[in-house]
Structure 1
Amino acid sequence: MLYTPLSTTDIFPSSEQDFQKRQCISHNGKQLYVEEMEDGQFQVLQLLSTDPEDFMNSDYLPGTILR
């Protein structure tokens, strides 16, 4: 039994190749868990922060594309 805030697909990815596309990066001083897309851009999966104010910033919403 796992007690975690992560989704099932984060823990048990569908393939090893999908898992390798995901990484933690620093963007504008914020830690983000992202997935690299085919065109080299990154899609935000999760904001890793303890500051509640960071979650009000629409630049870090899940699904946002970082250029």
Structure 2
Amino acid sequence: MILYTPLAITDIYPDISNTFENRTYIEYEGKLIAVDKNTDGSYQMIQLLSTDPQDFLNDNYAPGTIIK
């Protein structure tokens, strides 16, 4: 993809390196998930990494779920 614009590259793609500082991947109930670590030590689920479509129908793996 080619993007022609008079804007600076930092205006289009801002520095997001600090967004992923707390991001990690853990295994929870046998499933691999991407989580962000909170200040109280708990984890907030960001994304379920699974090839089984039935896993995505389970409310326990919904984005935003807090894992202690």
Q: TM-score, normalised by structure 2?
A: 0.73
- CA RMSD of superposed structures (Å): 1.5
Moved over 3 A (4+): none
Q: Does 1:13 align with 2:13?
A: no
Distance 1:22 1:65 in 2: 14
Give the CA deviation at 1:20: 2.1
Identity %, equivalent residues:
47
Q: Distance in 2 between matches of 1:53 and 1:42?
A: 23
SS in 2 for 1:55: helix
CA distance in 2 between partners of 1:54 and 1:13 (Å):
29
Q: Distance between the aligned counterparts of 1:20 and 1:40, measured in 2?
A: 14
CA distance in 1, matches of 2:30, 2:16: 28
List gaps (5 residues or longer) in structure 1. Answer: 2-11
Specify the SS of the correspondent of 1:62: coil
- How many residues end up aligned between the 2 structures? 55
Deviations 1:45-67 (A, max 9, x none): 00000000000110110000001
Q: 1:57, 1:65 → 2: CA distance?
A: 15
Shift of 1:19: 1.7
Structure 2 unmatched ranges of 5 or more: 2-14
